């Protein structure tokens, strides 16, 4: 595609985002930046959260992931639904009852200052790496589609991508993101739908033929029951999905911050239920796209790319499909990446400002200045981590994100499980040990699992990590 055309489309898209940011951020203050003054319509929050959860990782990685994982990812997605039910009925009532802005404030009330700071820092580390990984995919595609032809270095591409996020979020925060994320989710799903339509047209498939092609494909296998040692066995995938959702949504400041911007607990729960229900068909749509893309490659006799993540971009931008597919692919990718990254940047700013700097105890003017500096600081840090991902040249980013989540969110799972399901007190000053030791032990077990036990650990590492944290907290308990 013509780089000038792509650049013009992206520029026009960001003009729309800036207009939305100006309209929603005219009367912004710290309260609206953090929680949108708790006036967000639940249905807009629900639509936007779909985009935030999917992000550019799902947009690019899931279609290519089908080659190795088939539809077995749906086993995990089914577990996600269970996780959303747990969040709606256990965590959301807790957060609303305590009237929290940062969800990690609960840890201070329950255990003490050191546990509180440990929880917040775990989130900050996890979300910084996760959001950078999501943006890395988008920046890499833009580099390939636009900036390589113009001779622009990757570091400039990353800087521009981060700067645009900062420009439309620095003032309005969550009050702006609720609207921009909903817009970006709709655009992303439209891009997938248009791609499926054009691939089906190229393959001369009727609607019924389209469904039959997907069903008959060897890539559409969903359930794995026969080998319990396999990382994608149903039981492992289902419960790993449930716990991943609990920690990466229910214990994540980014996702919960938007939920807490709803007017009431009931509306927030309604948002969570609808969001959870929608997640199954939306992910099925992405995996169906993956089957169709591999079918198209085989039909046209095209070579498969070395990296699975490159399949969708190469077909959309390589002239193999109509130009409309490439246009909507670029817009959908940018929308998908930004719907996750903008809220992550806001959540990181919120958590560091409130949990670490405690600006909620400061005068408004000083608090606003520190919040702005924090926002700039995390923008720069995210750009740096993206460059590290570029250097590492990771293959499947979605696998990387879930693997990292098992190590970084595991201790948070242990903290909250211990706080909610026991009445015990702990030696608060020793809690940083409980945040660091379980991931190290989990890593040792993961590295040696096949030699010691004859099987590989999958995403259930998260559950193992949380269980080790829980047991360590028991040892740190007070009489």
Task: Check pLDDT > 70 for residue 366.
Answer: yes
158 contact partners, CB below 8 Å, separation of at least 6: 135, 139, 383, 386, 387
Confidence of residue 55 (pLDDT cuts 50, 70, 90): low
Of 32-46, 280-294, 415-429, which range is least confident?
Answer: 32-46
pLDDT of residue 328: 85
Which residues face 40 on adjacent strands? 262
pLDDT of residue 312: 85
Which residues face 262 on adjacent strands? 40
Residue-range domain boundaries for the chain: 3-475
* Integer Cα distance of 197 and 12 in angstroms: 25
Cα–Cα separations (whole angstroms), residue 417 to 123, 421, 464, 470: 16, 6, 13, 7
Per-residue buried b or exposed e for 256-270, using 16+ beta carbons within 10 Å of the residue's own CB: bbbbbbbeebebbbb
Task: Check pLDDT > 90 for residue 85.
Answer: yes
pLDDT of residue 194: 92
Structure tokens at 168: 């439309």
The pLDDT > 70 percentage for the chain reads 91
Task: Check pLDDT > 80 for residue 475.
Answer: yes
pLDDT of residue 437: 92
pLDDT of residue 88: 94
Task: Check pLDDT > 60 for residue 426.
Answer: yes
Task: Check pLDDT > 80 for residue 266.
Answer: yes
The pLDDT > 90 percentage for the chain reads 17
Structure tokens at 258: 């938007």
Domain 3-475 CATH superfamily: Sodium/glucose cotransporter (1.20.1730.10)
Rounded to the nearest angstrom, the gap between the alpha carbon of residue 401 and the centroid of all alpha carbons in its chain is 8
Task: Check pLDDT > 70 for residue 288.
Answer: yes
Task: Check pLDDT > 60 for residue 394.
Answer: no
What tens digit of pLDDT does each residue of 122-167 get? 889 888 887 787 778 777 777 876 777 778 888 888 888 888 777 7
Average pLDDT over residues 361-375: 85
Question: pTM higher than 0.85 for the full model?
Answer: no
CA angle, corner 131, sides to 34 and 305, nearest 5?
A: 155
Q: What is the mean pLDDT of the chain?
A: 83
């Amino acid at each position: 595609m013509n780089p000038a055309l792509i650049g013009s489309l992206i520029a026009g898209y960001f003009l729309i985002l800036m207009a939305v940011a100006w309209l929603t951020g005219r009367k912004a203050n710290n309260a609206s930046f953090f929680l949108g003054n708790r006036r967000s319509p639940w249905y807009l929050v629900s639509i936007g959260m779909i985009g935030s959860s999917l992000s550019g990782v799902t947009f690019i990685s899931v279609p290519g992931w089908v080659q190795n994982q088939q539809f077995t990812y749906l086993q995990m997605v089914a577990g996600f639904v269970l996780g959303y039910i747990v969040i709606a009925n256990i965590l959301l009532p807790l957060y609303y009852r305590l009237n929290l802005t940062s969800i990690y404030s609960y840890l201070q009330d329950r255990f003490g200052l050191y546990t509180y700071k440990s929880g917040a820092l775990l989130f900050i580390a996890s979300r910084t790496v996760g959001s950078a990984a999501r943006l890395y995919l988008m920046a890499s595609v833009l580099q390939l589609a636009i900036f390589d032809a113009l001779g622009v270095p990757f570091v400039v591409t990353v800087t521009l991508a981060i700067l645009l996020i900062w420009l439309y979020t620095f003032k309005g925060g969550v009050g702006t993101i609720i609207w921009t994320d909903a817009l970006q989710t709709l655009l992303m799903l439209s891009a997938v739908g248009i791609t499926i339509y054009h691939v089906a047209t190229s393959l001369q498939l009727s609607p019924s033929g389209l469904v039959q092609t997907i069903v008959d494909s060897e890539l559409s296998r969903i359930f794995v029951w026969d080998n319990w040692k396999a990382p994608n066995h149903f039981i492992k995938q289902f419960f790993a999905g449930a716990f991943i959702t609990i920690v990466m949504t229910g214990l994540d400041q980014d996702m919960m911050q938007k939920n807490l911007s709803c007017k009431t607990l009931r509306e927030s729960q309604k948002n969570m239920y609808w969001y959870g229900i929608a997640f199954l068909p939306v992910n099925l749509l992405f995996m169906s796209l993956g089957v169709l893309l591999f079918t198209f490659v085989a039909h046209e006799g095209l070579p498969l790319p070395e990296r699975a993540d490159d399949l969708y971009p190469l077909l959309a931008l390589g002239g193999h499909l109509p130009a409309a597919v490439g246009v909507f692919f670029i817009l959908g990718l940018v929308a998908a990446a930004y719907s996750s990254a903008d809220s992550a940047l806001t959540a990181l700013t919120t958590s560091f400002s409130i949990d670490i700097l405690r600006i909620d105890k400061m005068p408004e003017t000083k608090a606003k200045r520190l919040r702005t500096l924090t926002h700039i600081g995390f923008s720069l840090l995210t750009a740096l981590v993206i460059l590290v991902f570029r250097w590492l040249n990771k293959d499947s980013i979605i696998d990387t994100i879930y693997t990292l989540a098992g190590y970084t969110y595991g201790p948070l799972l242990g903290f909250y499980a211990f706080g909610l399901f026991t009445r015990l007190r702990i030696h608060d000053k020793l809690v940083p040990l409980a945040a660091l030791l379980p991931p190290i032990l989990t890593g040792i077990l993961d590295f040696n699992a096949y030699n010691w036990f004859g099987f590989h650990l999958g995403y259930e590492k998260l559950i193992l990590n949380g269980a080790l944290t829980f047991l360590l907290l028991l040892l740190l308990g007070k009489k």
